[in-house]
Structure 1
Amino acid sequence: MTGVDVPQIFAVCVAEFGDRVHVVGDQWGAPSALPGWTVQELVRHVVEEDRWAPPLFAGATIAEIGDRFSGDLLGTDPVGAFDTAAVSALDAVREAGAMERTVHLSFGDLPGAEYALQLAADHLVHAWDLARSIGADDRLDPAAAAALAAWFVPVQPLYRQAGVIGEPVPVPAAAGPQARLLGMMGRTP
């Protein structure tokens, strides 16, 4: 995406998710907005992604990382686990040259900027999922939602084909960027 500060968008999206993690309170075992997942499982998913980011940005392959991030990543302090993983992911994205570096993902090699946008979108959409799960404010940063909605238009068929998002949910033509992004990601805004 030309003219987009990808590390800044990623930072905003991490903060959006983190804001919701910090207000989960005693709702860790509650069902999440994602069928079959609890709030804790949703947060664990994002923590796992954040833990994968540093080695992937450093050039490691999926095979080299192996099952390093399997199991309980949250321990007795899920908020602290998220905070620690988020800082590591932010550092990896902000590292000089990270956006131009090749990242080896399970479905192929991509530029670091593309991987960072994938991570940003996941953080932002899961911020909405988490907010819905715990009754928190579900309004997302409008600039980040707009940038990610524009990025996602051409790549959404690939995500759908890979089975990582649901079918699109139609939204009105005049819907804002948050609703457009959520609809493309299979959520009912």
Structure 2
Amino acid sequence: MAPTPLDLIPAAIDRFGARVRAVPADRWDAPTPCTEWTVRDLVNHMVSEHLWAPHILAGETLEQVGARYDGDVVGDDPAGAWARAAELSRAAWLGTDLAGSARFSFGEAPLTVYADQMLVDLTVHGWDLARGAGLDESLDPDGVAHSLAYARANVDRFSGLGIVAPPVPTTSTDPAVQLLSLLGRTV
């Protein structure tokens, strides 16, 4: 039986964290494949997402959480900020059963969809981080397989929301390259 996002998220959090800790001091301002984000900006985005996760998984609304995680949430210590957010996020994911739903900026959705999206973000942004920081770009095959299936099923919706760049054509049979290309990355 294939692992679920809930099975894969804790290890994906750890892999992303290992890359954050490995960012060389002179690469925090380097560009990433996310054209509007530097390495630091990308980590800031992921820290914010993982600070939100415990609230969403606990059933809080967007209004209840408010704007507390907007803007700069990493300060002078992006790696430390990631470590703190990751610890809270991991605990929340391990403590949930994904039976419910939550209200997101795009509307009401099952928590299973949120788990899919979180795994895609950890996987693809892990590659973005590695590319921007000059680190090993290899990806977890299980995370790629699940993320690719989710992305294939939702790429048209993603494009309509403007949250990813348009797909980049590829003839590669490598699932990681297919995933990254589908989500607008040139590999």
Alignment of 1:12-91 (within 5 A): 12-26=11-25, 27-91=27-91
Deviations 1:2-58 (A, max 9, x none): 954221221232223212101112121222232232111110000000011111111
Unaligned residue ranges in structure 2 (runs of 5+): none
Shift of 1:77: 1.8
Name the amino acid aligned to 2:95: E
Name the amino acid aligned to 1:21: V
Find the residue that maps to 1:22 and give its secondary structure: helix
Alignment of 1:1-189 (within 5 A): 3-26=2-25, 27-97=27-97, 99-172=98-171, 175-189=173-187
- Amino-acid identity (%): 35
Name the amino acid aligned to 2:178: R
- Distance in 2, matches of 1:72 and 1:163, equals 22
Normalising by structure 1, report the TM-score. Answer: 0.92
Name the amino acid aligned to 2:183: M
- Distance in 2, matches of 1:115 and 1:165, equals 16
Q: Which deviates further from its counterpart, 16-25 or 45-54?
A: 16-25
Deviations 1:140-164 (A, max 9, x none): 0112101110122111111111100
Q: Which deviates further from its counterpart, 56-65 or 4-13?
A: 4-13
Change (3 A) 1:12 1:177: farther
Q: Is the 8 A contact 1:16 1:140 kept in 2?
A: no
Find the residue that maps to 1:104 and give its secondary structure: strand
Q: Is the 8 A contact 2:57 2:96 kept in 1?
A: no
Q: Is the 8 A contact 2:5 2:146 kept in 1?
A: no
Q: Is the 8 A contact 1:168 1:184 kept in 2?
A: yes
Name the amino acid aligned to 1:178: A
Shift of 1:129: 0.7
Deviations 1:127-185 (A, max 9, x none): 1111111111111011210111012211111111110011111121x522111110111
Deviations 1:78-135 (A, max 9, x none): 11110110121111112142x1121211111111121011011111111111111111
Query: How many residues are matched?
Result: 186
Q: Which deviates further from its counterpart, 161-170 or 34-43?
A: 34-43
Name the amino acid aligned to 1:29: D
Q: Which deviates further from its counterpart, 117-126 or 32-41?
A: 32-41
- Distance in 2, matches of 1:130 and 1:137, equals 10
